[in-house]
Amino acid sequence: MSGPTLRRAGIVNVTTGKNVIIIEPANVYACTLADDVFVGPFVEIQAGVSIGARSRIQSHSFVCELVEIGEDCVVAHGVMFINDIFATGGPARGRRELWKATRIGSRVSIGSNATILPVSICDDVVVGAGAVVTRDITQAGIYAGNPARLLRGSAPKLPA
């Protein structure tokens, strides 16, 4: 009987701007983090992800491949991004062509424990804690629930 194969979390092949802070332990690899990005502990950011300037990814969040996050965004604790929509009735099982992309605009705040399916979210949106975003959000405002719905239009502008 052989022992387990051990792999270490780490920060590998990351392109960063100035003043980027990553709190370890974190698993961040082959992605791009612009100026002044903050990444909290116990975060995974996968290959190909792009995170805009001054955005914050708080602890225990998972940002999968094919995600783009704009500038001045806040991704609160425990947010999960999904790129596999089980298009064939089950997991894609390595069939990356079945994965879908997610685009988050600028000045978007995503509350703790929200789940973001492959969607586009426009600028100036607040997604409430625990929300499940299943469809594109094309109007600025505050969204909450499962599935996430517009509660109030014209989200307040977040300070830069």
Kindly tell me the burial class for residue 73, based on how many C-beta atoms sit within 10 Å of its own C-beta (0-12, 13-18, 19 or more). buried
Q: What is the CATH number of the domain that holds 71?
A: 2.160.10.10
What is the number of domains present in the chain?
Answer: 1
**Structural domain range at position 110:** 11-86+96-153
Distance CA 84, CA 64 (A): 10
Task: Let me know if residue 3 belongs to a domain.
Answer: no
Structure tokens at 76: 């609160």
| pTM value surpassing 0.85 | yes
Distance CA 26, CA 39 (A): 8
Taking the CA of residue 57 as centre, how many other CA atoms within 13 Å lie in the half-sphere pointing to its CB? 36
Task: Let me know if residue 159 belongs to a domain.
Answer: no
Task: Let me know if residue 5 belongs to a domain.
Answer: no
> What distance lies between CA 39 and its chain's CA centroid?
11
Calculated CA dihedral for residues 24, 29, 33, 37, nearest 10 degrees: -10
- pLDDT tens, N- to C-terminus, the chain (160 residues): 789 998 888 999 999 999 999 999 999 999 999 999 999 999 999 999 999 999 999 999 999 999 999 999 999 999 999 999 998 888 988 888 999 999 999 999 999 999 999 999 999 999 999 999 999 999 999 999 999 999 988 755 655 5
